[in-house]
Amino acid sequence: MNEQQLINNYQAIKSQIPNHVTLLAVSKTKPSEMIKTLAGVGQSDFGENYVQEAIAKINELKNVTANGKPLIWHYIGHIQRNKTKDLAEHFDWVHGVDRLIIAERLNEQRPKNLPKLNICIQINIDDEDTKSGCQPEELTELVKKISQLENIVLRGLMIIPAKNSETAFVKTKQLFDKNRQFHANPQDWDTLSMGMSGDMAQAIDAGSTIVRVGTAIFGARDYS
């Protein structure tokens, strides 16, 4: 894909997203050069899934800005317990926290000279064996405990629905509304991270505030 195609894809997606929804450009497997191009047309938020690949890009793009500000990096991959320090040291956001121990480790390992780490709790909303995420019944206890940790800000919920799930977005919005009362700082509870290239519009209709879009911007990924 050439630079102009990338910018065209980006602007087409951007035009479908209302102002109150953040577009997270999912750049996993894609070169830093493409990230730089999008930063140049104002895209600030980027999502990565693979820790080592992400850290290399974050370091390489340290001095790149979008609209005059540093880029904002979101980790959206599966969280391994032995990788929490890398996440706490390099990212602005970690989506996909699904256990208290992970939040506690991120909290302890967040460097004191950085702003608090933003996190979302992932729910396994369609109860799939292959997906990470807490069960809906576990959510209230996690919100109560995680929202009290000092070095992180618990922003909301993240889901990856099953392929043909019809109810995931609406169910997640209901859980989000219901659990605000259990947050130690309810004003921080403002994020629903849901919607990808294939289901962005439905997610936004249901109340998404961050859509995570890869393929529709960068083209298909090559994992070979």
Ligand X SMILES: *Cc1c(COP(=O)(O)O)cnc(C)c1O
Backbone torsions φ then ψ of 193, nearest 5 degrees: -95, 95
Phi-psi region of 48 (alpha: psi -120 to 50; beta: other; left: phi over 0): beta
Among 51, 149, 160, 175, binds ligand X (CB under 6 A): 160
Using rule CB under 6 A, residue 196 touches ligand X: yes
Whether the CA torsion 127, 212, 94, 156 is positive or negative: it is negative
Contact window for ligand X (CB under 6 A) among 14-22, 65-73, 172-180, 212-220: 212-220
The CB-of-94 to ligand X minimum distance in angstroms stands at 12
Task: Quote the strand ranges of the chain, DSSP E.
Answer: 22-26, 45-48, 65-66, 69-70, 72-75, 93-97, 117-122, 152-158, 191-193, 210-213
Closest CA to 178 of 127, 143, 128: 143
Contact window for ligand X (CB under 6 A) among 110-118, 124-132, 167-175, 207-215: 207-215
Nearer to ligand X, 157 or 183 (CB): 157
Among 26, 38, 103, 139, binds ligand X (CB under 6 A): 26
Distance from C-alpha of 185 to C-alpha of 14, rounded to nearest angstrom: 31
Among 5, 59, 80, 215, binds ligand X (CB under 6 A): 215
Using rule CB under 6 A, residue 99 touches ligand X: no
Residue 110 · residue 151 · CB < 8 Å? yes
All residues at 6 or more sequence positions from 81 whose CB lies less than 8 Å from its CB, including other chains = 101, 102, 105
In this structure, what token pair is assigned to residue 107?
A: 């909290």
Nearer to ligand X, 28 or 99 (CB): 28
Using rule CB under 6 A, residue 214 touches ligand X: yes
- x/- map, 47-86, ligand X, by CB under 6 A: --x--------------------------x----------
Q: How many residues bind ligand X (CB under 6 A)?
A: 13
Give the residues lining the site for ligand X (CB under 6 A).
26, 28, 49, 76, 160, 196-198, 212-216
